[in-house]
Chain A
């Protein structure tokens, strides 16, 4: 009898722990948990001073609010050869799509570098390589290295050294509103879905 009660208690504690780590038996990976959390809570991102190509430092939140457009944000480092270049082409196609459909007054793109080695010049060269149109697609790095960690944490970005001089990170497309809330995370390859939902959001906001 005592063993049965002990087993029942262990089961209960186990269920509670499994439920906690899996967000109520809905996810098994941190990435899925991050996306679920963003959809349900739309967390506010902390402010950070950004530097872009040839411009003075500016506040991310201030810029989002002033600009007023929905921003699709990704995190990159310019030396990246693998997944960020996929993100790069993905954002290139998004830029084309935005210009073709004339949506540049509603949606824009921001690529933020998490690599301290990326300065204004490097970013400008990278932007050139990507044929970025400054009115649609901006590149920036975080001015104050102290502010990088909280920003990455708020977005849920985990950067791991890949052992051969580069980084591996959970690359995705993040939808951020002018109010500084992160409302959606889409996979690479789902740029069109990200764009469509950003437009829907812009529509709702403009009503």
Chain B
């Protein structure tokens, strides 16, 4: 896809996630808020990053060896917006809502710019950390008998929790399946280097 198309795709995803009436609908339910709007914004950020010219990408890479800074940012952003109070604040305060949209877009962009440079080991470490964190939060959402968010109902919280646990299982599984398909997991050390995507040279 051309950079222009990526930019258009990003803009379309942002519009779906934040257009006034859609935003209200998405945020009216805790599960839709976390499991539909968040991914939309993250994907939009990734699409925008794909539209960046290679000079900008090179400049970012200078601060992002092995994608470490970008993936750290992604982990922190995704952990932050799983805090019940942060979700509540996003509903009640417009500046917090803006910060939420901006950081999720930025996390999507960071993910796109960091994933390939990260290489197999850092990728696996990142997904593993993200998955157990998300699974624990998802289990907590389902386990507590009180409402964690003042803005959401208890049954929505349970659905959101189930969704987070499902994501925490599906994404690492998908990564392993992808690696297996590429033949990276055959067990030969030389193949591991082979399987490393190109573009991991940025330091």
Is B a genuine binding partner of A? Answer: yes
Residues of A with Cβ closer than 8 Å to B? 2-3, 5-7, 10-11, 14, 17-18, 21-22, 27-33, 156, 158, 160, 162-163, 168-170
Q: Is the CB of B63 within 8 A of A2?
A: yes
Given contacts A6-B69, A7-B72, A162-B153, contact A30 B88 (CB under 8 A): yes
Q: Which of B8-16, B18-26, B142-150, B186-194 contacts A (4 or more CB under 8 A)?
A: B142-150
- B172 touches A (CB below 8 Å): no
CA distance A162 to B147 in the complex (A): 13
19 A-B pairs in the complex with CB atoms less than 8 angstroms apart: A2-B65, A3-B68, A3-B69, A6-B69, A7-B72, A10-B72, A14-B80, A21-B80, A21-B85, A22-B83, A27-B85, A29-B84, A29-B148, A29-B150, A33-B85, A158-B88, A160-B153, A168-B147, A169-B150
- B151 touches A (CB below 8 Å): yes
Which residue from chain A places its CB closest to the CB of B148 in the assembled complex? A29
Q: Is the CB of B62 within 8 A of A10?
A: no
Q: What chain B residues lie within 8 Å of A6 (beta carbons)?
A: 63-64, 69
CB distance from B110 to the nearest CB of A (A): 9
Which residue from chain B places its CB closest to the CB of A153 in the assembled complex? B92
CA distance A30 to B96 in the complex (A): 14
Which residue from chain B places its CB closest to the CB of A34 in the assembled complex? B150
CA distance A158 to B147 in the complex (A): 12
Which residue from chain B places its CB closest to the CB of A187 in the assembled complex? B146
Q: What chain B residues lie within 8 Å of A29 (beta carbons)?
A: 84-85, 88, 148-150
- B130 touches A (CB below 8 Å): no
- B36 touches A (CB below 8 Å): no
- B167 touches A (CB below 8 Å): no
CA distance A14 to B83 in the complex (A): 13
